[in-house]
A and B are shown apart, each in its own frame.
Chain A
Amino acid sequence: MPDERQVADDELQPAPVIAPGYTFGTVTDQISSVVLTRRTPVFWMACFGVGFALLLLFLWAVALLFLKGTGIWGIRMPVAWGFAITNFVWWIGIGHAGTLISAILLLLNQRWRNSINRFAEAMTLFAVACAGMFPLLHLGRPWLFYWLFPYPNTMGVQPQFRSPLVWDVFAVSTYATVSAMFWFVGLLPDLATLRDRARNRVARGLYGIFAMGWRGSARHWTNYETASLLLAGLATPLVLSVHTVVSFDFTIAIVPGWHSTFFPPYFVAGAIYSGFAMVLVLAIPLRWVYGLEGLITDKHLDNSAKVMLATGLIVAYAYILEGFTAWYSGNVYEAAAIWHRMTGPYASVYWSLVTCNIVAPQFLWIKRVRGNPILLFIFSIIVLVGMWLERYVIIVTSLAQDFVPSSWGLFHATRWDWATYVGTIGLFLFLFFLFIRLLPMISIFEVRTLLPQAKVEEEPQG
C-alpha cells in the first residue's frame, strides 16, 4: 500500500511541463525529425489537401469579386458590413492568443509556454493574414488599397487620420509586421539547428540562408535574450491596442448596440478566448499525430483550458453588462437594440451564441473535462463558433435595426459570403500545414532550457 504521505506529495506536486527522460539530443531530434524526414504523414496530406481545396475556392470567390464587385455578397444598405467585417474581427481575435502566449507569458516568466509558443505565433501570423483579406476585399476596389496609406500623390488628398478605420490600417499592419519579426527572431536559433542537421543540400542551403550564420555564441545569446524581452515588451501593449482599435471601429460610431465604452476590454477578452480555443484545436491533433505528448503535455492543455474559462467568464460578464447598461441608461434606442437581439429576427443567432460562449464553457470547471483532449477539442470548436456568432450579432443586428424603422433591413448571406469565409479557413490551413512541414513547430532551443540538465550547477564558493 502506498505511503499516505507519498500520495499526498504526489498530488501536491505540479504535473511536469515536459515529460521526464528527455535530453538535449532527443528533444532536438524529435522536433526536427518532423521537418527533416522524407515521409509525410497521411494526416498532413489530408489537412493540407483540405486547406488547398478551400484555398482554391477562396481564389474563385475573390476572382469573381474582382470581376463583379461586392454585390456578390449579401451586403445591402443598411447592413454594409456583413460577413466581411465579422470575419475580420474573428480572425484577428484568434491571432491574439499567439501573441499573448509568446509575449505576455514570456514577460510573466510562465515557462510552460516554451513548447507551444512557436506554433501559436505561426497561428497569429496566418490568422492576421486571413483577417487582412477582408477589409481589403471589402474596399470595393481592392487594387487601390494603397490609398489607405499617407503618401505623396498627384490627387493631393490624404487619409483622414481622425477616422478609426484609418487607425485600423496602422494597427493591423503594425501588428502583422511585428508578429512576423518576432516569429522570425524566435526561429533564428532553430533554423541554425536545421541547417546543421539537414542532410539534403538544398534544404541545408535554404535553412542556412535564413539562419544568417547564427552560431549560438555567448555574444549572440546576450543580445538575443535582450531582444526577445524587448520585443515581448513591445508586443504586449501592441496586442492589447490592436483589438482595442478594432473595437473603436464600432464604439466610436453612434449606432445603438455599438456606442459603448466597455467594448475595448470586452473585445480583447473575447479575442484571447477564441485564440486559446484555436490553440487547442491545433495542438490536440498535432501532438497526437506527431507523438509530441511528452512536449505538449496535458499540463499545457489544462492551462489553456483555464485561460479559456477565465476569459469566457469576462465575456459572459460583458454580455450581462450590455443588457444592464441598455436598461439602466434609459435610452430607448439602446434598449430596443438589445431587445431586438434577444427577440428579433436574429434571436436564434443570439441564443446560440449565449449557449456556445457562456453555457458550454462552464463544463471546463470540471477537471476531468480539462484532462480529456477529445472533449477539450469539441469545446474549443464550440467556442470558436460562439465567438464568430458574437461578432456576427454585434455587427449585423446593430446595423439591421437602428433608429428609424423605415430604414431597417435584414442581412442575408449569399453563397459567396460563405465561400470567402470558408476560403480563408482554407488559406489558414494551407499556410499552417506548410509551416508544420517546413519549420519546427515547437521552439527547440526554448524546450532545451526547460530540461533539468540545462541548469548550471554552481559549486559552493569557498
Chain B
Amino acid sequence: MRPPIYGVMAEFDNPTALVNAAREARARGYRKLDAYSPFPIEELAEALHLPKSKLPIIVLIGGILGGLTGYLMQYYVTVIYFPINIAGRPLHSWPMYIVITFELTILFAAISAVLGLLALCGLPMPYHPAFNVPRFAHASRNRFFLCIEATDPLFERRATEEFLERLEAREVCEVAH
C-alpha cells in the first residue's frame, strides 16, 4: 500500500547541522533517508552510509569497448575490407593504429561516464515529490535538507516529525506525493 505522504523533510542552515542530523537519524535506525545540499559534502555520504559509486566500473567497461572498437575497426578496414599494398609493407601496421585506438577509448569511456552518471542518478526525472515543498527551491541556493521517507519501517508521521524538530532544524514539513 502506498503511504499517504512521501516523507518528512527538515531544513537546516549549514552543512554541519545537516551532517549531524543525518548521523543521528541513522543512529536512530532510519534507513530510507536522503539529504539535499547545494554543493557536494564529503562527510554526508559517510554519514548516510551511501554505497560507493558504481561509475568507475561502467567507465572501465566503456573504455575497453572503445579501445577494442578502435583497434578492430582499423584492423578490419586495413587488412580485410580495403587492403592497400604499399611497397610490400605489412597490412597489419599496428603502430599506426594507436592514435585512433586511444581516441576511441577516451571517447567511449567519457560517453559511458556521462550516461552512467545520468543513469545512476535516475536522471532525467521529470517529477520528484521533494519539489512539492515550496522551500525546497533553496536546496540549490543556501539551505540543506534531510528527508526521511515514509517507506522507512520506523516511519511514523508524528514521531518522525518530532524527532527531526529536535535536531536544530529551522523548519520541518511533510512532503506530499
Task: List chain A positions with a Cβ less than 8 A from chain B.
Answer: 23-25, 28, 150, 156-162, 164, 166-167, 170-171, 174, 177-178, 181-182, 184-185, 189, 192-193, 195-197, 212-227, 230-231, 234-235, 237-238, 241, 245, 248, 445-446, 448-449, 453-459
Contact = CB atoms under 8 A, between A and B. Distances in A.
5 contacts: A162-B78, A189-B140, A196-B140, A237-B102, A456-B42
B140 A224 contact: no
Contact of A230 (B56, B74, B122, B136): B56
Interface of B: 14-16, 19-20, 22, 34-45, 48, 50, 52-53, 55-56, 59, 63, 73-74, 77-78, 81-82, 84, 93, 96-97, 99-100, 102-104, 106-107, 109-111, 113-114, 116-118, 120-128, 130-131, 136-142
A216 to B, nearest CB: 5
B97 A241 contact: no
A245 B130 CA distance: 48
A449 B39 contact: yes
B99 A223 contact: no
A139 B145 CA distance: 56
Given A159-B77, A230-B55, 16 more contacts: A162-B78, A189-B38, A195-B140, A214-B121, A215-B36, A216-B140, A218-B37, A219-B34, A221-B37, A221-B40, A222-B53, A224-B117, A231-B110, A245-B99, A448-B38, A449-B40
Contacts of B114: 181, 184-185, 227, 231
Contacts of B107: 174, 177-178
Nearest to B109: A234
- Ranked 8 nearest A-B pairs via Cβ: A213-B125, A24-B142, A212-B124, A226-B53, A196-B137, A227-B117, A221-B40, A193-B140
Contacts of B43: 456, 458
B141 to A, nearest CB: 5
A182 B73 CA distance: 26
A213 B128 contact: yes
Contacts of A24: 38, 141-142
A248 B38 CA distance: 44
A218 B55 contact: no
A445 B38 contact: yes
B49 to A, nearest CB: 10
A436 to B, nearest CB: 21
B48 A218 contact: yes
A54 B99 CA distance: 36
A25 B141 contact: yes
Contacts of B73: 150
B36 A218 contact: yes
A198 to B, nearest CB: 10
B34 A161 contact: no
Q: For the complex, would chain B's binding face be called helix, strand, loop or mixed by DSSP majority?
A: helix
A212 B118 contact: yes
A177 B110 contact: yes
A221 B121 CA distance: 9
A456 B37 contact: no
B175 to A, nearest CB: 12
Contacts of B118: 212
Contacts of A221: 37, 39-41, 44-45
B100 A167 contact: yes
Contacts of A195: 140
A216 B34 contact: no
B125 A216 contact: no
Given A23-B142, A230-B59, A218 B50 contact: yes
Contacts of B74: 161
Contacts of B97: 161
A218 B82 contact: no
Given A196-B141, A241-B102, A158 B38 contact: no
B106 A225 contact: no
B106 A237 contact: yes
Nearest to A242: B103
A349 B130 CA distance: 63
Contacts of B139: 196, 215-216
B128 A215 contact: yes
Nearest to B22: A218
A221 B45 CA distance: 9
A192 B123 CA distance: 12
A177 B113 CA distance: 13
Nearest to A236: B106
A454 B141 contact: no
A28 B55 contact: no
Given A158-B77, A223-B53, A226-B55, A216 B99 contact: no
Contacts of A178: 106-107, 110
A234 B111 CA distance: 11
A13 to B, nearest CB: 25
Contacts of A237: 102, 106
A173 B26 CA distance: 47
A241 B84 CA distance: 27
B142 A215 contact: no
A222 B50 contact: yes
Contact of A234 (B96, B99, B106, B141): B106
Contacts of A218: 22, 34-37, 41, 44-45, 48, 50
B47 to A, nearest CB: 8
A189 B93 CA distance: 46
Contacts of B99: 164, 167, 170-171, 241, 245, 248
